[in-house]
Amino acid sequence: MGRELRDEIKQGKPFESLEQEALLSIERTAALLMHGFADSLKEYDITPTQYNVLRILRGAGRAGLCRNEIRERLVAQVPDVTRLLDRLEESGLVERERAEQDRRLVTTRITRTGLALLSRLDGPVAQSHRERLGHLSAAQLRSLIGLLAQVREAP
């Protein structure tokens, strides 16, 4: 068994409830995992959120997606998807095209440069995931995935 969360965050008194401890444990774990993931992407000059957008657009193929569709598919919600897409476009990783019939509709697609970056990242990202979660068995990972899904389904 791992260290107690109370010890990690140097909390002297007990948590107010099991729910509080569980929520803080999820938060702490997510923060540590994301910090490690961000570190593994630094040398590629890309953030986890930018990586997530590129991954989403690679999956969408040549059809691309509009801003709202990208926002809905993001793992972590961000306040300004337009600015995020602006930065990716400035880097040459995505391109946007305004529809002829409805100028309000803008489709975003991943570029060849974006696809090449994702190709280079596939191995390091998989390795990063193994480093952070590879010590768990397949059964433990399935159990964790199921428990987290149950938490997300709560009213």
Using an 8 Å Cβ cutoff, are 53 and 88 in contact?
Answer: yes
The structural domains of the chain, ordered by start, are 16-153 (1.10.10.10)
Using an 8 Å Cβ cutoff, are 108 and 70 in contact?
Answer: yes
pLDDT tens digits, residue range 29-56? 999 999 999 999 999 999 999 999 999 9
CA distances from residue 81 to 47, 58, 109, 142 in whole angstroms, order as listed: 14, 17, 14, 31
Region 122-133: mean pLDDT is 94
Residue 83's pLDDT is: 95
Report the chain's terminal Cα–Cα distance, integer Å. Answer: 30
CA distances from residue 30 to 10, 12, 35, 119 in whole angstroms, order as listed: 18, 22, 8, 25
Q: Helix, strand or coil for residue 124?
A: helix
User: For residues 141 and 133, what is the distance between their CA atoms, to the nearest angstrom?
Assistant: 8
